[in-house]
Structure 1
Amino acid sequence: MVSPSRQLRGGEEDERRRWAPGSTNSAEKALRVGKGGGGVKGRVSVTSRRATEVRVALPPNDSARSPHWTTTSSGPCAAGGGRAGGRLAAMAESLPPEMLSYILSFLPLSDQKEASLVNRAWYYAAQIALREIDVRYNIPVTAASLSSIKRLSRRHVSCVSLINVDGSSDANSVLQSISYYLGPHLQSLSLGGGSLTEASFVRLIISCPGLQVLDLSGCNSLFMSGKLLDQPETVQQVQKALANLRDLNLSGLRHLADSSFNRLSSCTPKLERLSLARCHITFDPHRSRSAQPGSSAILSFPNILHFLKERASHLVALDLSGTNLTPTALHALGQVVGLHLRELVLRGCRDISTEAVAVLCRQQRDLTSLDLSGCSELADGALLVVSRGLQSLQHLRLEKLQQLTDSGFSSLHWLRELRSLDLAECCRVSGRELAKALEFPRGPPPRLASLRLAYCSLLKDASVISLAQGLGSSLKVLDLSSCMSLTNSSLLAISANLPQLTVLRLAWCKEITDSGLLGLADPGEEKDRGKKLNKNFGDMGFFLPQLPPEPLAPLESPSQETPNKQLTPSLLLLRALQELDLTACSKLTDNSLAKVLKFPRLRQLSLSLILEFSDVGLVAVAQGCPSLEHLALSHCGRLSDGGWARAASFWRRLQHLNLSNCNQLTEQTLATIRQACQQLKVLDVSMSQGISMAAVEHFQAQLPQNLGTQRGLGTYLTIGTIFPGAREGPALPTCPSSVGDSLARIEGPEELLPGAAPWVS
């Protein structure tokens, strides 16, 4: 694990060095406790595991300008502290666990784990966060997990996902261990894609009396025989265990039938959310009449409709994506008496018509989330009826609607509560009417926090500028990937008007240049473009080719640029950025990337396919973005071992790293990464010709065999499957004949079980 280091800004860096000599890894968070303005201000920092210290800054009163720092040491660094050290240690121990938990809640999960190693009080405070339902432990079903499952029981883990469940003896042992040690505290259990037996499933469920979320997606072996829960005594036991179940995921089940669905659903009297996505549902009324009630062969929509009528008062979310839902069936669903859905997902239901959506909007006016992506029959009329009929809507997804045009957005301003809008791959949307609909004061004060316009090929700069000006106070997520017509003008508008932006995706926006990132507007840019050939060949002839623009002076501040450049807002204004995607923005170079990419909060960055990105930019980005967890640098052919030797030490939080097709890298980079990036979970070095299979195997051999023992709550690496035909030897061929000739991918699950040995997929 990596100590929770977080770069401090401005003068705080000097202050940190002054009161923490010799310490380079610290996590610092400002704290304000209390009600109103009369709370107590403080600041807490956690250092690395070897020299564990707790630093608390408490000003004597709110008007104090400079806090009085006190340092509390524990562990090896606490020795010889005398009475003062003991008094400070007692102060840290006496902080309420609620206060400590609040402080730690600002840190990423990995840093919270490291903070739990400070002392006993911090350990228990961290467990509150680690027990949250959204912290999922992915447990590989192997014999190596048995010892760690027992240790996890002491943390009262509430959310577990089992990987590679089958009918083997090892799997049965793991399931029994989970039932005994984790079952009493589990609230969420995922068995997605597993092949467990019916008996094992029943034993596992009975041991989880507090279960609220159950994921059985893709567990076809459970329903293949059609006899799941066919014994009355078994049904009673399972019904008692699932009495509080709120969320049931049955998506992707090929063998789910009426009888098995009825028996399982009868055990969940408080069910609120149901997913039947991609299940084989029969909508033919003639076939359903001929089938026996509670058929063991098919899953019919009339049977599902009967279930909806029985549970209408409880059900709030339904997912029927990919089920070929018919307009008649959608009409019947909306007419269920007492059914007031809040969330409805109909993704990929291609037969749905605009008329059916209109009926649904009249009958289900309480919807707050609606997904109609991939419903290819829908056009502008569908968006018009949604805008006028569902005025409480907060989340709307309309991806891949090829018939949707700008005309459909004329009534969008009626959606006063809209928080997120997804229009990706709507190829006929230019954004003009969208900008007008969201413009204040015609519509309500903008509240839109997420907007996806990826692959909208008609989107132009004018629309993006209008959207940025209208949504400046609210927008946090903006996806403009593959909008290839966008230029620096769009980027300048984004930088100037969207200060709250946390996610910005500009992949394949190839017209963005260094000037756009740096905020340098060239007044003569349009005039200097010169003549270009067009499709009608009207301007065919001979003319002098344009000279390439002069490169910007390396690593100078914008104020030192050439006088014909006019200073405008740069990307540096987006201080809240946590994710940035500049994939294939091929006109970018080190000149801008090294100056602009200075975001202490940035966690995800993609610079793949930027051919001019070199070691100079790599080191500068490493210094400016020390909190990166996901980094993609594939096809950056100018990166070398020397650059990584200088940059890797700044990225101790790195978890996912893509270095595919970086041909200058060798096994020396692997050694550097292994030493510096000890929190790494996924490493992709496929098609990197300088890295041989022998080097990859040596890298694997050097990985710790028991990270759970060496690093406490550790993360894990696994060696991915090598494609057939991969060659083994000291070096890979210069021009591989197939993808498998030079593929080596090292990867691991998102949050693997602490204490389990590395496993090979």
Structure 2
Amino acid sequence: MRTDNDNSAPYRPSSGLYNDVTRAPCYKTKMAATLPVEVIAHVMRFLSVGDRKASALVNRQWYEASLDPALQTNTVFHLLTPFTSGSTVQKFGLRKSPNLILNDMDGSSRSKEVVKKACQHLGQHLQSLSLKGSDITEGTFMVIIPHCCNLRKLDLSLCNSLFLSGNLLRKPNDFQAAEKSLVNVRELNLGSLRHLSDCVFNRLVTVMPNVEKLSLSGCTISYEFSPYDKESKTRASTSVLTFVNIKAFLERQGKKLTSLNLSKTGLPGSSLRELAMVSGLAIRELNIAGNRDLNDDDILALVKQQNGLTSLDVAMCGELTSQTVLHIQTYVPQIQYLNFSKCRRMRDSAASKLYTLPDLQYINFAECPQISSKALVSGLSSKPMLHLASVCLAHCTLVRDEFVETLGKAVPHLKELDLTSCLAITDRSMHAIAAFLPELKRLSVAWCKNVTDYGILGLEKPSEEVGSSRLCELNGGRFSRNFGTIGFFSPPSAADMTVCKITQEEALVVLAQHDAGKPTGLQHLARLRVLDLSTCQQLSDLGITCAIRFRELVCLRLNMCTGVTDQSLVAIATNVPSLEELSISQCHQVTDDGVTKVVKRLQRLTFLDISCNDKLTNCTLASISQYCHCLQKLDVSLCSQMSHDALDKLQCHLPHLVSLQSRLV
């Protein structure tokens, strides 16, 4: 069993309480014990989930404060039924968490009993229940449902065993029990179900008459059911899910339904037009991603009829062109969410008029290679974009530094920026991001190979002439402040002779500015929580040591950063205390000593990727086994020095490890 923060949870500042409390003097511990529970619970509202979990370990009083229902609103319980005991489940009632995910559930009597107890203790507080991917049976499902009278969200995606027989809710007693318990459900997810039929679908939506959000993503839908049977349009199928039946449901539920997900269902254009014209239907959120047959005229017919749309996802619809964007601008200017990922026929005209969408919050042009910087500058800076919070331009190879600089000045409140594989991005962009986007929480510059230490540190890179005259100062000297001693690098290799590296003196200046409260470079992004620097091969230990100093960073990816050594890992372990996800795949200089220091210090790690590192041995696995008690996912693929016996021991010591990737070990 584990708890996670919900994706929609608001950002909360943290003080690194875990590290401070464990070293607190005795009098401070006594003072903490005398605080009223109500005061402690109020303080915990301002902590991140990781700090809140750590603070609950201070003493019994702090643990009780952490159970305050107000703190459980955005907490999700992942219950791994094969590894959960009855005594653990009995304590669920104290937490009163409204969100529960049941994983790895099978048809065994033990799983059935654990699930029953969990729903008994959480049932009256439960508002969201996910059975995604579980091998749940109809009997177990009917044991769970009567205890969940206040459910508002139900996820049955990938539960193919539940729908295999086609008899779900067929018995009158089961139907009545479900009708009584599920009347408050507002969100229903039936995605990726191979055996969903019209009859079962109709029973489900009948017992949940107030559904507002429906997902049928990845379901097999028959658009021409029994073409030789004239009565097929009025009869529900017992074997397949038909478009005619879905349309009939929309005609009944149209006034209540606000969100519909038909992605990856092979939806043809004619069917989309029929749905758009359903009387009374007023969809606000529509996902039709992955339906490759849709064209611009289909989208035009949609937006003309459904002019209340605020969210539209048409990713991977390869026939759509820039004309689609013009239709959206004309008929639904109030749109807030747009996803055109992998719509490769999009051109500059699709981006140059974005300023006509004043309420736009999220825009995704990933893998639209014909979108240029000039068009993006025009689209996002011609008028103030007051609500824009997220921009994704991954694999847009025509994006240049000029756009990033303009974006930073035009949208200073941006929260998320993805520039993955924007190969023309250089240190100028990094300087602009650090200077103009202080509220940024997620940043990806993976595969931007022109980003160097000077970029992430906010320093001006010297000219090539100066750089060639300073080769003797290459990397200055390996140093570590507050966590090690100063040493020196070996002479530069031939591959390094064309790269001007930061010197020790420049790095000391950056650290001095950080200590003075005037950080430069990436350090200026104090709210950053996710950072991806994968394949930025010009980064070195000095750059990472001085720039990666975030108290709130949760996820860090340094895959294929060949300049990363144990010194970088030691610095990360010291300067990023809240880290929960770390990826250092193909960092070939990393050794057992560096990884050991990381896992010893960062005991909140839930995800660790150390694959393709030949210098790592069984000693690394022993350290992980000893210190990573919260670890849920581990990737050690292609680590040739590790053995299967050591992996078996690791799994015995970490029973809550959900995923272990060990290919070719």
> 4+ residue stretches of structure 1 with deviation over 6 A?
49-55, 526-529
Secondary structure class of the residue paired with 2:93: helix
Secondary structure class of the residue paired with 2:363: strand
> Aligned in 2, Cα 1:508/1:190: closer, same or farther, shift over 3 Å?
same
Matched with 1:47 is 21
> Aligned in 2, Cα 1:721/1:633: closer, same or farther, shift over 3 Å?
closer
- 2:85 corresponds, among 126, 145, 154, to 145
- CA distance in 1 between partners of 2:69 and 2:450 (Å): 44
- 1:370 corresponds, among 290, 293, 312, to 312
- CA distance in 2 between partners of 1:266 and 1:238 (Å): 10
Secondary structure class of the residue paired with 1:481: coil
> Aligned in 2, Cα 1:100/1:395: closer, same or farther, shift over 3 Å?
farther
> Aligned in 2, Cα 1:303/1:699: closer, same or farther, shift over 3 Å?
closer
Q: Is the 8 A contact 1:628 1:651 kept in 2?
A: yes
Matched with 1:35 is none
CA shift, 1:104, in A, is 1.2
- 2:248 corresponds, among 306, 311, 328, to 306
- CA distance in 2 between partners of 1:649 and 1:602 (Å): 18
- 1:598 corresponds, among 542, 549, 565, to 549
CA shift, 1:146, in A, is 3.0
Counterparts of 1:192-203 in structure 2, within 5 Å, are: 192-203=132-143
Matched with 2:420 is 481
- CA distance in 2 between partners of 1:146 and 1:50 (Å): 35
> Aligned in 2, Cα 1:608/1:46: closer, same or farther, shift over 3 Å?
closer
Q: Is the 8 A contact 1:131 1:155 kept in 2?
A: no
Matched with 2:17 is 27
Matched with 1:537 is none
Q: Is the 8 A contact 1:46 1:115 kept in 2?
A: no
Question: Structure 2: which 5+ residue stretches go unaligned?
Answer: 3-14, 469-494, 512-518
Matched with 2:451 is 512
> Aligned in 2, Cα 1:227/1:653: closer, same or farther, shift over 3 Å?
closer
CA shift, 1:345, in A, is 0.7
1:458 and 2:398 aligned: yes
- CA distance in 1 between partners of 2:447 and 2:129 (Å): 39
CA shift, 1:647, in A, is 4.5
TM-score between the two structures when normalised by the length of structure 2:
0.85
- 1:399 corresponds, among 308, 321, 341, to 341
Matched with 1:611 is 562
> What one-letter code is carried by the residue in structure 2 that aligns with 1:496?
A
Matched with 2:368 is 426
CA shift, 1:400, in A, is 0.5
Q: Is the 8 A contact 1:247 1:273 kept in 2?
A: yes
> What one-letter code is carried by the residue in structure 2 that aligns with 1:189?
L
CA shift, 1:631, in A, is 0.8
**Higher helix fraction (1 or 2):** 2
> What one-letter code is carried by the residue in structure 2 that aligns with 1:188?
S
CA shift, 1:50, in A, is 9.8
Q: Is the 8 A contact 1:388 1:411 kept in 2?
A: no
- CA distance in 2 between partners of 1:573 and 1:417 (Å): 28
Secondary structure class of the residue paired with 1:435: helix
> Aligned in 2, Cα 1:599/1:488: closer, same or farther, shift over 3 Å?
same
- CA distance in 2 between partners of 1:683 and 1:555 (Å): 38
Matched with 2:223 is 283
CA shift, 1:51, in A, is 7.8
Q: Is the 8 A contact 1:475 1:500 kept in 2?
A: yes
Give deviations 1:269-321, integer Å, cap 9, x for gaps: 11111001111112238738552512212222222112112112211111011
Matched with 1:248 is 188
Matched with 2:126 is 186
Q: Is the 8 A contact 1:101 1:129 kept in 2?
A: no
Matched with 1:61 is none
> Aligned in 2, Cα 1:697/1:455: closer, same or farther, shift over 3 Å?
same
Give deviations 1:411-469, integer Å, cap 9, x for gaps: 32121111111111112212321221111xx3234431111111112222222222222
Q: Is the 8 A contact 1:518 1:571 kept in 2?
A: yes
Give the number of equivalent residue pairs: 620
% of aligned pairs identical? 35
Question: Structure 1: which 5+ residue stretches go unaligned?
Answer: 3-24, 29-44, 56-70, 75-88, 530-544, 562-567, 706-715, 723-738, 743-761
> Aligned in 2, Cα 1:236/1:641: closer, same or farther, shift over 3 Å?
closer
1:381 and 2:340 aligned: no
CA shift, 1:504, in A, is 0.8
Aligned-pair Cα RMSD in Å: 3.2
> Aligned in 2, Cα 1:194/1:620: closer, same or farther, shift over 3 Å?
closer
> What one-letter code is carried by the residue in structure 1 that aligns with 2:205?
S
CA shift, 1:117, in A, is 4.2
Counterparts of 1:721-736 in structure 2, within 5 Å, are: none
Matched with 1:174 is 114
- CA distance in 2 between partners of 1:167 and 1:403 (Å): 48
Q: Is the 8 A contact 2:154 2:187 kept in 1?
A: yes
CA shift, 1:690, in A, is 3.0
CA shift, 1:675, in A, is 4.2
> What one-letter code is carried by the residue in structure 2 that aligns with 1:113?
K
> What one-letter code is carried by the residue in structure 1 that aligns with 2:456?
L
Matched with 1:624 is 575
Matched with 2:540 is 589
1:136 and 2:76 aligned: yes
Q: Which has the larger radius of gyration?
A: 1
Secondary structure class of the residue paired with 2:207: coil
Matched with 2:31 is 72
Matched with 1:358 is 300
> Aligned in 2, Cα 1:350/1:527: closer, same or farther, shift over 3 Å?
farther
> Aligned in 2, Cα 1:650/1:196: closer, same or farther, shift over 3 Å?
closer
Counterparts of 1:195-234 in structure 2, within 5 Å, are: 195-234=135-174
Q: Is the 8 A contact 1:131 1:156 kept in 2?
A: no
- CA distance in 2 between partners of 1:555 and 1:649 (Å): 30
- CA distance in 1 between partners of 2:90 and 2:496 (Å): 70
> Aligned in 2, Cα 1:527/1:382: closer, same or farther, shift over 3 Å?
farther
Matched with 2:630 is 679
- CA distance in 2 between partners of 1:492 and 1:309 (Å): 54
CA shift, 1:252, in A, is 0.9
Secondary structure class of the residue paired with 1:136: strand
> What one-letter code is carried by the residue in structure 2 that aligns with 1:275?
S
> Aligned in 2, Cα 1:443/1:232: closer, same or farther, shift over 3 Å?
same
TM-score between the two structures when normalised by the length of structure 1:
0.75
Secondary structure class of the residue paired with 1:204: helix
Secondary structure class of the residue paired with 1:266: helix
CA shift, 1:699, in A, is 3.6
- CA distance in 1 between partners of 2:172 and 2:653 (Å): 54
CA shift, 1:669, in A, is 3.2
Give deviations 1:478-512, integer Å, cap 9, x for gaps: 00111122222222222222111111101111111
CA shift, 1:222, in A, is 2.3
Q: Is the 8 A contact 1:593 1:617 kept in 2?
A: yes
- 1:272 corresponds, among 200, 212, 228, to 212
Matched with 2:507 is 557
Secondary structure class of the residue paired with 1:631: strand
> Aligned in 2, Cα 1:386/1:718: closer, same or farther, shift over 3 Å?
closer
CA shift, 1:719, in A, is 6.8
CA shift, 1:386, in A, is 1.1
